[in-house]
Amino acid sequence: MKKSLLLIALLFIVGLAYSQESKPETVLSAPDTWGPEIFSFPLDFAPSINYQGFEDIRFAPGWSDTTANDYFTYTFVWYLDNDPKITTNKLTDHVKAYFGGLMTAVSERDDLPAVTASFAKQANGTYTGSVNTYDAFFKKKALALNIITETSHCIKSGKYVVWFKLSPKDLKAPLWKTFEAVKLKVDCDK
């Protein structure tokens, strides 16, 4: 009887630890119309992006609607345990690996066009850039996305944030104001 109770208690503790580990806390808050998703690092579709932490994603309401103004508009945060030491070259490599792996995994094809990307550093740990990839989700054709990336260090938690905002719309388009609805729930400095 004691062994059974001990085994049940042990299984409960292991199960609790597993459930807490497999569902990381979110760091983004957004209106209910923005769809959430979370992935732990390393990302299955992009294992070369070698970080520890997780990716917290929010999809704009029209993300999957090819006729919507906010088609393929979404944002994600990499909430990382260690300083990623982001540079324009590192961002370019990461975004190419990310979209190359993601679109290949979704399409289940190995013959997709090569992904190209470029970034320029702005002020305060912000980068602007673009990626040319393939929309394996909806249109099944080439897709160009503009990107704003912000980096910061969260001193209280000791974590690092790399925050991506993506849309096919030009960076000067009013659509980019929709990202103001998504907030970072943790306190970080730029």
- Do 56 and 40 touch, CB atoms closer than 8 A? no
Q: Give the number of other CB atoms < 10 A from CB of residue 183.
A: 12
- pTM recorded for the entire structure: 0.85
Domains in the chain: boundaries: 27-184
**What 3-state DSSP class applies to 37?**
strand
CA separation for the pair 67, 83 (Å, rounded): 39
Residue 105's pLDDT is 93
Inter-residue contact 54 to 41 (CB < 8 Å): yes
CB contact set of 113 (below 8 Å; sequence gap of 6+): 134, 142
Query: pLDDT in tens for each of the 190 residues of the chain?
Result: 444 333 333 333 334 444 444 555 899 999 999 999 999 999 999 999 999 999 999 999 999 999 999 999 999 999 999 999 999 999 999 999 999 999 999 998 888 899 999 999 998 889 999 999 999 999 999 999 999 999 999 988 899 999 999 999 999 999 999 999 999 998 887 5
Residues 121/129, Cβ–Cβ less than 8 Å:
no
